[in-house]
Structure 1
Amino acid sequence: MGFERRVSFQTEEDYHKLLRQRSYHYFTNPTFSKKALYFLVASYVAIVSFLSIAQPFLDLCDKDAPRTDLDFSNPGYDQRICVRTRSPKLLYLTPEECSFGRRIVIAGCLGALVGWERRNADRPAGIRTMSLVSLGSCLFAICSSFAFIEGPMEWDGSRVAAAIPSGVGFLGSAVIWKQSHEEGQSVHGLSTATAVWVSAACGIACAGELYVAASFTVAVMMLILRFGPRIDDDPEDGTEFISEHAVMDELTFDEENAEPMSPLRLPSVGYGSTKDLSGKSASMRRSTHSHFSRSAHVRATLKD
């Protein structure tokens, strides 16, 4: 069985309009539970970010505040008790946890800025990838600085935290793949590999009882992965398009080897646009989440 769908773009504006409409389709099935989940996550990120930025201006801990009696090996470590005291003004967060939030927010924003610059330079690693790399690096550094400040034995636990990113890098490389197309090469899986890496950082943070830093990082990462890529979908201004394109979606089904009772959830592939050296052609690929048998294949091609 098969089907064919043709879409024509008379102008460049029509192409951009269609691309924006489909690129903001965040969920395959936008159920109430999914909307509620991301509403809670976005609210958590917004509240913690606001409190983290406002905390230095609330003057909750002065320089002459009482200090702890514990003897830390690091003389520069802040030993004031108020730094680790939960305050109602901060919704029962500590000033130290707000400091973690500030660092994570700034790291994510700076990483996004680098990704935006790389995206404009037409590089495969864009806003999502750079944001997650910066986010994970910040959390790894927080873990090394605060997660192992005390313990029953004298040992350098931060060395374990430093070794984990190297090992996780091999795991992340398994999800990066390169595919050849008629008009060039495309790299996929960078953001997924980075998400694996950031997840390792969250595990280290939880091991050091840095629950707020870990949960806040996960929330920020979820928002970046879900909503971040939509900024990258719209091609740069000035990209040339042919006045009319035809999109062919061809579905082939092997009846002899079909397994109707064993569905396969096909991954979604986002839109992308490429241009050859003459600047006269553009391409767009799209496959949606669908359930077919394991022998089903979906191919989408764009022809002039």
Structure 2
Amino acid sequence: WAFGSRKKKGEEMRVFEILEGVKRWWRWYLDQYFRPKQYQSLNGALYLLIAVLVAAFSVVNVFAEVLVRDCDYAPDPYVSSWDNRLYPSAECYYEKRWYLLGLSLWEADKGQRLILSIVLGAVLGYERRSPDRPAGMRLMSLVSLGACCFTISSMFCFVSSSSSFD
């Protein structure tokens, strides 16, 4: 293998046995949780339900600003609970709505960021794709999603006020 060393016949058999054991374990694991014959229709229905829910929430997140047109709340900027009295807070931005599938505009905004990071990561992965690296789209999508999650979680560092850290 490395540095020109050669394996003996017994070592090759040992590696082969280990790989066969891993294959058997993996087959057992898949059969344990994803039984191909016994619950095939139930698995299909469950996966279809999950796919429909993911698609529905994705569409709602992307088009949330278009769906919500009644957010015209204009508070008095001098009556605010924030440290910055000039910060206009829109209370309707945090209201949950049934036609957004129970989300608020604030939550839909975070969902838009996640979806956009996945899509742009896939575009970057497609651009970087080559015959010797076929997994570019998946990898870049996951890297972009991780970076987006890190950025969103960092936004809550100063959530107590818009300018209390100044």
* 1:133 Cα offset (Å): 0.7
Amino-acid identity (%):
35
Partner residue in 1 for 2:100 = 90
Partner residue in 1 for 2:89 = 79
1:47 matches 2:84: no
1:99 is matched with which residue: 104, 109, 116? Answer: 109
1:35 matches 2:44: yes
Partner residue in 1 for 2:155 = 145
* 1:39 Cα offset (Å): 2.0
Partner residue in 1 for 2:16 = none
Q: Give per-residue Cα distances to partners, 1:80-130, cap 9 Å, x unaligned.
A: 111110112212210011111111111100001111122236336511111
* 1:131 Cα offset (Å): 0.4
Partner residue in 1 for 2:140 = 130
User: What RMSD, in angstroms, separates the aligned Cα atoms of the two structures?
Assistant: 3.2
Q: Figure out how many residues of one structure are paired with residues of the other and give that number.
A: 125
**Aligned-partner residue type, residue 51 of structure 1:** V
Q: Give per-residue Cα distances to partners, 1:218-264, cap 9 Å, x unaligned.
A: xxxxxxxxxxxxxxxxxxxxxxxxxxxxxxxxxxxxxxxxxxxxxxx
Q: Give per-residue Cα distances to partners, 1:255-280, cap 9 Å, x unaligned.
A: xxxxxxxxxxxxxxxxxxxxxxxxxx
Q: Give per-residue Cα distances to partners, 1:135-181, cap 9 Å, x unaligned.
A: 11111111111376139xx99xxxxxxxxxxxxxxxxxxxxxxxxxx
Structure richer in strand, relative to its length: 1
**Aligned-partner residue type, residue 62 of structure 2:** I
**Aligned-partner residue type, residue 53 of structure 1:** V
Partner residue in 2 for 1:116 = 126
**Would you say the 8 A contact 1:66–1:82 is kept in 2?**
no
- For the pair shown, the structure with the greater C-alpha radius of gyration is 2
Moved over 6 A (4+): none
Distance 1:80 1:118, change over 3 A: same
- Which 5+ residue runs of structure 2 have no aligned equivalent? 1-33
Question: Counterparts of 1:66 and 1:47 in 2: how far apart (Å)?
Answer: 36
Higher relative contact order (CA 8 A, sep 6+): 1
Partner residue in 2 for 1:221 = none
Structure richer in helix, relative to its length: 2
Question: Counterparts of 1:53 and 1:46 in 2: how far apart (Å)?
Answer: 11
Question: Counterparts of 1:109 and 1:87 in 2: how far apart (Å)?
Answer: 26
Question: Counterparts of 1:38 and 1:66 in 2: how far apart (Å)?
Answer: 48
Distance 1:101 1:65, change over 3 A: farther
- Using the size of structure 1 for normalisation, the TM-score is 0.35
